[in-house]
Amino acid sequence: MSKSPEEEHPVKAFGWAARDQSGHLSPFNFSRRATGEEDVRFKVLYCGVCHSDLHSIKNDWGFSMYPLVPGHEIVGEVTEVGSKVKKVNVGDKVGVGCLVGACHSCESCANDLENYCPKMILTYASIYHDGTITYGGYSDHMVANERYIIRFPDNMPLDGGAPLLCAGITVYSPLKYFGLDEPGKHIGIVGLGGLGHVAVKFAKAFGSKVTVISTSPSKKEEALKNFGADSFLVSRDQEQMQAAAGTLDGIIDTVSAVHPLLPLFGLLKSHGKLILVGAPEKPLELPAFSLIAGRKIVAGSGIGGMKETQEMIDFAAKHNITADIEVISTDYLNTAMERLAKNDVRYRFVIDVGNTLAATKP
């Protein structure tokens, strides 16, 4: 007999879960493992709501496991540490992002790239080393191996910092890896949503010239005034796009809907790089000729390893980079998901777990 989620582990836990692909979230009693010698347990104070959470509760990608407790932008305060933990102490502010495990013996893990380990374990809806399902941050507390714990600097706000654990590292890592962090580069950011608005902030902090490329003319003022972008292109305006042809060293494409790549290739200089970090559900068309004419590169990038994630949080704290957020209560979650599906958020929902979760207990 397999045990119920409530009886699986010794430590009682409470959160919100989806039970099926309707995606409806509701209160859920479950349990978490006891604190192992290398584990850190923390009280969850805030958890960001990522587009992946919406895809996952509705099983859009086909590998969801129910009941599903989403949330991989989790921050809080350490309540217990295992005997071998060196990284943090009780009372420290910490976070957990998209990963809670990997094999630790492959080439990727040896190079601090746990995010590319073939056996990486996701923070929710994944199978942990002990064979049980992982549950995410829409919950009262979290436990993780210290390797996957990110220390939050004192000056980093927990609510605005939470989304950086997914959105932040997703854009920081490719900017660094592909050499787009060198001062004076001209970088394009496609899409001014949860990922895009953070990408603009990091690119500006690296000393880049930044052009935002969007289908929404209404976002122009915000891009230029609030986020400090240098210019704004409406991607449907052929004159604007033509005038900017051959001007960009690199483009970070954050759009997760199907969209044409050809107009973006036109914006790149020779040897320019188009990096995809959004994941459309259907394949995109790849016009080979426009890549060949200019030795251009199209690539992908997914989150980052733990070492780089810590580096990103430290860099963000130093440069006062946070996500622009709307803080919500736990009981607003289903409404928030409906709004997220319509892109009706500026720019990331963050759940005030610490102050609002307990009140939803049945």
Q: Say whether 192 counts as a known binding-site residue.
A: yes
Sign of CA dihedral 266, 259, 57, 62: negative
Q: Say whether 185 counts as a known binding-site residue.
A: no
Q: Copy the structure tokens of residue 82.
A: 């295992």
Rounded Cα distance between 344 and 215, Å, is 15
Burial (CB count within 10 angstroms: exposed 0-12, middle 13-18, buried 19+), residue 242: exposed
Residue 81: strand pairing partners: 40
Q: Say whether 343 counts as a known binding-site residue.
A: yes
**DSSP assignment of 103-172:** -SSSHHHHTT-GGG-TT-EESSSSB-TTSPBP--SSBSEEEEEGGG-EEPPTTS-HHHHGGGGTHHHHHH
336 within 8 A of 328, measured Cβ to Cβ:
yes
Q: Say whether 229 counts as a known binding-site residue.
A: no
Q: Say whether 354 counts as a known binding-site residue.
A: no
Q: Say whether 166 counts as a known binding-site residue.
A: yes
Q: Say whether 47 counts as a known binding-site residue.
A: no
Q: Say whether 32 counts as a known binding-site residue.
A: no
Q: Say whether 279 counts as a known binding-site residue.
A: yes
Q: Say whether 109 counts as a known binding-site residue.
A: yes
Q: Say whether 216 counts as a known binding-site residue.
A: yes
How many residues are recorded in the chain? 362
Binding residue numbers for Zn(2+): 50, 72, 103, 106, 109, 117, 166
Residues within the annotated binding site?
Answer: 50-52, 55, 72, 103, 106, 109, 117, 166, 192, 194-195, 214-216, 219, 277, 279, 301, 303, 343, 348
Binding-site residues for NADP(+): 50-52, 55, 192, 194-195, 214-216, 219, 277, 279, 301, 303, 343, 348
